[in-house]
Amino acid sequence: MSPRPACRFLLTAAVAALILIGAARAHAAVEDTLVVGLRDCEARALERSEEIRGYQSELDRAQARYLVARSSVLPHVELSTTYTQQIESIYEGATGGPGFAADTTSSIEERVRALEDALPDAGLSGLADLFSNSAFASEHSWDATVSVRQKLFQGGFLWHSIAGARHALDGAAARRRDGEADVLLGVRQAYLDALWAERELEIAELGLRQVESQFHRVALRQEAGEVSEFERLRAEVQRDNQLPIVQWARNNLELARLTLLRLCNLPGDRPLALSSRLLDSGALGSEALGAEAMPINPLPIDTTGWVAAAYDAPALLGLRQQAEALRHAVSIAGAARWPEFSAFASLSRQAFPRDFAPREDDWKRDARAGLALQWTLFDGLETRGAIQEARVNRTQAELQLLQARESVRSGVIAERGELLRAAADLFARTRTVAVARRAYALAELRYTEGASGLIELEETRRDAQLAESNEARARHAYLTALARIERYIARPVFTDVAQRGPQR
DSSP 373-395: EE--S--TTHHHHHHHHHHHHHH
**Chain-centre distance for alpha carbon 432:** 43
- Look at residue 296 in the predicted model and tell me its pLDDT: 41
User: Residue ranges of the domains in the chain?
Assistant: 32-71+158-333+382-499, 82-125
Low-confidence spans in the chain with pLDDT less than 50: 1-2, 4, 7-8, 11, 14-16, 18-19, 21-30, 95-97, 285-299
Q: Model's pTM, two decimal places?
A: 0.73
CA distance 476 to 478: 5
**72 secondary structure, DSSP code:** G
CA distance 161 to 193: 47
- Look at residue 167 in the predicted model and tell me its pLDDT: 94
CA distance 114 to 105: 13
CA distance 375 to 22: 88
CA distance 351 to 134: 8
Q: Do the Cβ atoms of 339 and 374 come closer than 8 Å?
A: yes
Using DSSP's 3-state secondary structure scheme, residue 313 falls into: coil
Identify any residues that bridge with 372 across adjacent strands, giving them in sequence order.
342
CA distance 63 to 56: 10
Q: Do the Cβ atoms of 295 and 423 come closer than 8 Å?
A: yes
Return all residues near 371 (Cβ < 8 A) that are at least 6 apart: 341, 342, 343, 344
If residue 75 lies in a helix (H) or strand (E), which one and from where to where? none
- Look at residue 290 in the predicted model and tell me its pLDDT: 34
- Look at residue 298 in the predicted model and tell me its pLDDT: 37
Per DSSP, which regions of 48-124 are E strands?
76-85
Compute how many other C-beta atoms are within 10 angstroms of the C-beta atom of residue 33: 12
* Cα-based distances in Å from 458 to 212, 226, 436, 437, 448: 12, 18, 13, 13, 13
CA distance 270 to 141: 74
Burial class (CB in 10 A: 0-12, 13-18, 19+), 292: exposed
- Look at residue 342 in the predicted model and tell me its pLDDT: 93
Per DSSP, which regions of 282-417 are E strands?
340-351, 363-374
Q: Which of 46, 266, 188 is nearest to 498 (CA)?
A: 188
CA angle, residues 333, 336, 338, in degrees to nearest 5: 130
CATH number of 32-71+158-333+382-499: 1.20.1600.10
- Look at residue 67 in the predicted model and tell me its pLDDT: 93
Identify any residues that bridge with 140 across adjacent strands, giving them in sequence order.
85
If residue 97 lies in a helix (H) or strand (E), which one and from where to where? none
- Look at residue 87 in the predicted model and tell me its pLDDT: 79
- Look at residue 184 in the predicted model and tell me its pLDDT: 93
CA distance 18 to 7: 16
Rg of the chain, C-alpha, whole Å:
45
